[in-house]
Structure formats: structure tokens, C-alpha cells
Chains A and B, each alone.
Chain A
Amino acid sequence: MAVPLAAPPGAVRAARGSGHRRGDGKAAAGFLAPSGAGFLAFTLIPVIGSLVISFFAWPVLGRRKFAGFENFTDLITDPTFHRVMLNTLVFVLAYVPLNLAVSLGLALWINSKIRWRGLYRLLFFIPTVTPMVANALVWRLLYQPNGLISQTWETVFGSPAPNFLGDPSWAMAAVVLMSVWQGFGYNMLVFSAGLDAIPNQIQEAASIDGVGPFRRLWSVTLPMLSPSMFFAMIMTLITSFQVFAQPQIMTDGGPGIATETVVMHLYREGFIQYELGTASAIAWYLFLIIMLVTALQFVGQKRWVHYDG
């Protein structure tokens, strides 16, 4: 197994001669070579290649053929693709606000008069680093008919519990709930860091001026936290469009295709149907949507994000 390469000694020796002012072209080539070569081979060329492949009918076995925009237009008219887009959108629209609300709420709570803050933060953070597949399996057990959640439901409501993962009207909600549980800890830490950075004097000044706690939260704390919130929102939106492992493990996209997401569809088209052209076109649709949503966020931020203060 090849393990990495230090900078080529030749390049470094060459650099010693050349003066600082005159540029370090040769040294730079040496330092950049390992990263640059890998970046070119495994990131840049694949990104471009992906766009090229998306214009081909490209089966894994058999002859590939230029197809123009056919992959893209076929997808646009495919009811299955409509459904997986809709599923993903529903997931994003439910998951992102819930994630932000829970993470912000807990960050504020832990930042109030609470002991052992570090311990709480650490424990809430844990599911974000444990393998998603393992987290999803644990929840798959929790959601089983007659599992812990069903038993609790029956005790509390006295009526038979729905089959959470098997009922089309419950399955997506189940996936969202599990995802919020596993994912909010990260944003909670982002918000905690943001809260720690707010100088105490500002809170105190507002407090002396007779500003009540709710007003203080709304008019002082949240505006000062808005850059963190903007950052968290962007990152969470981007990653939530890429949701894959949770539905793959918990529902396998089912029942029917009620929880099949865009990335699951990409995986099926590309690596089960072996239609690599279609899979690439799906990836570019995903990329375009992510870019569009991110751009909209950046346009919208002027209205609510305060960078100075």
C-alpha cells in the first residue's frame, strides 16, 4: 500500500537557490505535486468526466453512445424521478428547520445556568460521529412493529401503533426523526461556539437597560448569532439534499418508493441498473439544485445576517 510521499527533494534543493522575491516556482511545484496530482486525477477530471458521461447512454457493459440531452430530458419526464425529487424535498423541508430549531434550542439551554456544559455538549454530539449505518440500524430496531416505540405508543395511546417504516404516511416522518436525532449535535456545537463568542458586556448592558430575557434573546443574542445560523443553515441544507444512508438502511426506499431519495435513485440507476449516463445526469441535477439553493441563501442573507457588532 503506497503511503505518501514527502516533497520531492530535488524541488526543495532547487528552491534554496532562488531568492524569495523572484518567486518560488520550482519549490511550489514540488510542494504542490502530491496534492495536485491526486486532486487532478480523483477530483477535477472526474467532475468534468461526470458532465461528459451525463451526455452519453453509458451502460457498464455494452456500447456507449452519445445521447445529447436525452438523459436529462428522460429524467424530467420520468414519474419515478419526480417522486424521488419530491421525497428529497419533503425530507429537506422537514429536516432542516427541525435540526436548526433543536440545535439552537439546546445550545441556548445549555448556555444558560447549567452545570457540566461540556458533558452535555459532548453527549449530544456523539451520534454525529458514530457510523450512520449503525445509527440507522438501531432506529430500525426501535421502529419495528412491537419494538420499543410501538410498545410505548400502545401504552400511552392505548391504540395499536402504526407500522412506522412500513406505512407510506409514516415512513418519511420516521426517517426525518431519526436524522434529526443523529445530526443536530453538530449545529448545536456551532451555535454554542457562537454563543460563547458574544461578549458578556453586551448582554449585561441590555439587562441594565431593563430589557427582559425574551427581548434580549430576540434583539441581542439571535442577531449576534446570525452568522453562525447562516453558516449552519447552508451546510445543513447542502448535506440534507444528499441524504442516503438513513433511508437506504431503514426502509430501503420503501414502502414502494415512498422514501427513495435522489442519491438512492442515483445509486440504483448507476450501480444496480448500470446506467452510468443516467446516474451522472441525476448527480448534475442534484448539483444544480444545491447550487441554486445555496445561491438563494447568499442572496437572502442580507436581510437577516449581521456581520458586525
Chain B
Amino acid sequence: MTADLATRSTVPAKPDEPPLRPTAQRLGPRGIFSQVLLTLVLLLFLLPFIWMLSNSVKPGDEVFSSGLLGSEVRLGNYGEALAYLPFGRFMLNGLFVSISGTIVVCVTSVLAAYAFSRLRFRGRGAIFMVYLATLMVPHEVTVVPLFILMQQLGWVNSYAALIFPWAFSAFGTFLLRQFFLSIPQELEEAAVIDGASKLRILVQVIVPIARPAIAVLAVFTFINYWNSYLWPLIIINSQEKATIPLGLSYFLSQNGNEWHLLMAGCAIAMAPTVLMVVLLQKHLIRGIAISGIGGR
């Protein structure tokens, strides 16, 4: 799974150029020491996750009295957590909101990025500047007016309120426009001569080339929706519509002492994001290199 990352960093840029820095092939005694030490640092770093998993399968009264392993491994805690609060429901809500939001973001960004990178029209520069300017505005500035807007639309406590306010940010448009600009126009010329419509050129020529950039946008958009906390806290007021982070905070406020169940809930909440990162690591790494997306 990690082969991509490993080769990417060790293979020199040009194949005929000998590797000048000592590569990972030969590790001297110092290299082995460094490797072992780094692994220990990594294990310490991973300890919170390990502790979470270990406590998620302990009997509840052993959370503070036992080490890594309790007197038994209770996988049933997961079932109990799912029954205690509707975690299954939170997961489905989160998946629905994140997937819908990601689709809206990708489709609207692709269309707008095409207009900004390939079409000539009056005011293009000015409109694009307005998009760019809003990139600097922190989300917190818009939550109050958005809350009022949601009240007026009757969207308080709805999926629409979770999806739409964040589905049109300038970021996706900006990212994809930059990528589209790097695609040579000659590639589209054959299609233009064939008389293909602009929409067809976009869908059949540009989108396939831009797939890596779109994938990056999709992954980060999904993760942002999935992890979003402040906005759901403001706009959602029932378990029926809550997403995972909100569900966890409900759990904390209702029964914060059931640590074993809470840890099972955390593990459930983390699983989809970890899975995504492992499966799509190639896109993520490249995306960070080309765009500086995400950023905390």
C-alpha cells in the first residue's frame, strides 16, 4: 500500500542519474540506530490510538485500573456503543452529507474552473478576484448570517443546511482552475475541429486529464464534511440529523463516564477517514505537494 510513497521519495528524478545521497539500501550501524529510534517515536506517537483501541474492548470498570489489556477482550462494546446512541445513524448521516457535498463541490468547481480557465468573457478577472478574496475569510465570519439564512429558508436541523453552505466555496474552483491552466490547449483542438460542444470538451478531454486534481479535491472535501463540528453544533438539534462528531459530543454530555463505549465510538468515527487516507495516499500526498490544501 505504501510502495508509492516510498519509491516516490527515493527514486531520483531522472532515471540515468545515480542516487547521490545515500539511499535507504545500505544502513550502517548509525542508520539502524536512527531507524529504531524513529520507530520508537512513532510508537509513542501512535499510543493514543492504541490506548483508544485497547480501552474500546475493555470491561467498563477496568479503564483506569488495567494496562493495555483488560481481563477480557469485549468486542461487544462496539455493539453496545452502537445501541447506546444511534451511531449507525450518525454514520449514515455523515456519509450522506459528505458524499452529497463532495459531489456538489466537484461538479460546480469543475464547471466554474472551466469558465475561468478556458472561456473569454467580460468581468472574468474581476469575478475571479472576488472568489479569491473570500478564500481569506475565516468560516467563523459567515456562520451567523448563514444561521439566519437557514432560519429563513426553514433549513434549521436539515441535511440541506449541512451540505449547501459549504458546497460552493471558492477553494475548489481556484484549485481546479490552476490545474486546468496547466493543461495544454492543443489537446482540445482536435475536439474543437470536430465541432464538439464546450461541455463535451470539458467532460471528455479535460476532466480525464484533471482526474488527479479532482481526486485531491474530493478527498479533502469529504474529510472536511465528515469532521465538521462547529457548524453542525450550531444548526443541528436532533440525533436524527447529527453527524459523527456531533454524535460523539452528545455521547460525552450524556454519559461521559462510559469511557469504554466512548472509545468504541471514537474508533468507529475514525475508521472511514483512516481507510480513505490509506487507500488514497498517493492522491493525498500529491495534492499537498501541488496545492497546500487542507492545512491545520
Q: Contact flags (1/0) for B1-13 with A, using CB distance below 8 Å?
A: 0111111111011
Q: For residue A16, which residues in chain B have a CB less than 8 angstroms away from its CB?
A: 195, 197-198
**Distance between Cα atoms of A124 and B19 in the complex (Å):** 26
**Distance between Cα atoms of A130 and B109 in the complex (Å):** 25
Q: With an 8 A cutoff between CB atoms, is A257 at the interface?
A: no
Q: For residue B169, which residues in chain A have a CB less than 8 angstroms away from its CB?
A: 39, 43
Cβ contact within 8 Å between B164 and A38: yes
Size of the B side of the interface (Cβ < 8 Å), in residues, is 121
B67 to chain A, nearest CB (A): 9
B156 to chain A, nearest CB (A): 11
**Distance between Cα atoms of A3 and B167 in the complex (Å):** 11
Which residues of B195-232 are within 8 A (CB) of A?
A: 195, 197-199, 223, 226-227, 229-230
Which residues of A134-162 are within 8 A (CB) of B?
A: 134-135, 137-139, 141-142, 144, 146-148
Q: For residue B136, which residues in chain A have a CB less than 8 angstroms away from its CB?
A: 290-291, 294
Q: Contact flags (1/0) for B259-296 with A, using CB distance below 8 Å?
A: 10011011001100110111001001100110010111
Q: For residue A15, which residues in chain B have a CB less than 8 angstroms away from its CB?
A: 197-198
Cβ contact within 8 Å between A43 and B170: yes
Pick the contact of A118 from B3, B28, B160 — CB < 8 Å?
B3
Q: For residue B197, which residues in chain A have a CB less than 8 angstroms away from its CB?
A: 12-13, 15-16
A238 to chain B, nearest CB (A): 7
Q: Contact flags (1/0) for B28-68 with A, using CB distance below 8 Å?
A: 10110011001001100111110110010000000110000
Q: For residue B294, which residues in chain A have a CB less than 8 angstroms away from its CB?
A: 128, 186
**Distance between Cα atoms of A263 and B229 in the complex (Å):** 12
**Distance between Cα atoms of A147 and B51 in the complex (Å):** 11
Count contacts between A and B, CB distance < 8 Å: 341
* B267 nearest in chain A by CB position: A134
Cβ contact within 8 Å between B144 and A280: yes
Which residues of A235-291 are within 8 A (CB) of B?
A: 235-236, 238-239, 241-242, 244-245, 248-249, 263, 266-267, 270-271, 276, 279-280, 283-284, 286-287, 290-291
Cβ contact within 8 Å between B198 and A12: yes
Q: With an 8 A cutoff between CB atoms, is B82 at the interface?
A: no
Q: Contact flags (1/0) for A108-145 with B, using CB distance below 8 Å?
A: 01111111111111111111111111110111011010
Which residues of B108-128 are within 8 A (CB) of A?
A: 108-109, 111-112, 114-115, 119-122, 124, 127
**Distance between Cα atoms of A124 and B249 in the complex (Å):** 25
Q: With an 8 A cutoff between CB atoms, is A77 at the interface?
A: no
Cβ contact within 8 Å between A200 and B12: yes
| A32-B115 CB under 8 A given contacts A113-B24, A139-B48, A148-B51 | yes
Q: For residue A122, which residues in chain B have a CB less than 8 angstroms away from its CB?
A: 2, 5, 277-278, 281
Q: With an 8 A cutoff between CB atoms, is B148 at the interface?
A: yes
B183 to chain A, nearest CB (A): 16
Cβ contact within 8 Å between A133 and B245: yes
Cβ contact within 8 Å between B270 and A130: yes
| A131-B234 CB under 8 A given contacts A114-B38, A286-B140 | no
Cβ contact within 8 Å between A263 and B140: yes
Q: With an 8 A cutoff between CB atoms, is B184 at the interface?
A: no
Pick the contact of A6 from B8, B107, B227, B284 — CB < 8 Å?
B107
Cβ contact within 8 Å between A236 and B296: yes
Q: With an 8 A cutoff between CB atoms, is A189 at the interface?
A: yes
A113 to chain B, nearest CB (A): 4
Give A residues with C-beta under 8 Å from B.
1-7, 12-13, 15-16, 20, 23-25, 27-29, 31-32, 34-39, 41-47, 49-50, 53, 106, 109-135, 137-139, 141-142, 144, 146-148, 181-183, 186, 189-190, 192-193, 196, 199-201, 203-204, 231, 235-236, 238-239, 241-242, 244-245, 248-249, 263, 266-267, 270-271, 276, 279-280, 283-284, 286-287, 290-291, 294
Given contacts A32-B111, A204-B21, 20 further A-B pairs with CB under 8 A are A3-B100, A7-B111, A16-B198, A24-B119, A29-B121, A31-B119, A111-B9, A116-B2, A123-B46, A127-B49, A129-B273, A133-B244, A138-B51, A141-B259, A186-B294, A200-B19, A203-B21, A235-B295, A276-B147, A287-B137
Query: 29 A-B residue contacts at CB 8 Å?
Result: A6-B199, A25-B121, A32-B112, A35-B108, A35-B112, A38-B167, A43-B142, A44-B134, A46-B145, A49-B145, A109-B38, A116-B6, A116-B24, A119-B2, A122-B281, A133-B229, A133-B245, A133-B248, A134-B269, A135-B48, A139-B48, A181-B45, A189-B288, A193-B288, A203-B21, A241-B138, A242-B139, A283-B143, A291-B136
